[in-house]
Amino acid sequence: MEFQHESGRIFALDGDGKLIAEVTFPTTDGVADIDHTFVDASLRGQGVAGKLLAAAAEQIRADGLKAKATCSYAVKWFDQHPEEQDLLK
């Protein structure tokens, strides 16, 4: 699966253009708020949400921003990835 990047959003579409995975992280005052993670039911259990969060963390870091996690999945992901804790505000 190939992710597409937009400002504050990483997502994937299926062959028909339907949204099948997404993480959003709008930025305010240098802090990206990871506020939403979505994975289509057809992809659940395949680690897609974790890959989305890893891609978001990489993008946020590359943009020189800090992050905060308000999405429950993002909170859990950061708890499970201590190597990414320095990204959190």
Burial class, 4, CB count within 10 angstroms (exposed 0-12 / middle 13-18 / buried 19+): exposed
Hey, which residues does 38 pair with through a beta bridge? 22
- pLDDT in the model for residue 4: 96
Pairing of strands 31-34, 66-69: parallel
CA distance 38 to 20: 8
For every one of its 89 residues, what pLDDT tens digit does the chain have, with 9 covering 90 and above? 899 999 999 999 999 999 999 999 999 999 999 999 999 999 989 999 999 999 999 999 999 999 999 999 999 999 999 999 999 98
Q: Is 45 helix (H, G, I), strand (E, B) or coil?
A: coil
Q: What is the CATH number of domain 4-87?
A: 3.40.630.30
Query: Do residues 68 and 33 lie in contact, with contact meaning Cβ atoms separated by under 8 Å?
Result: yes
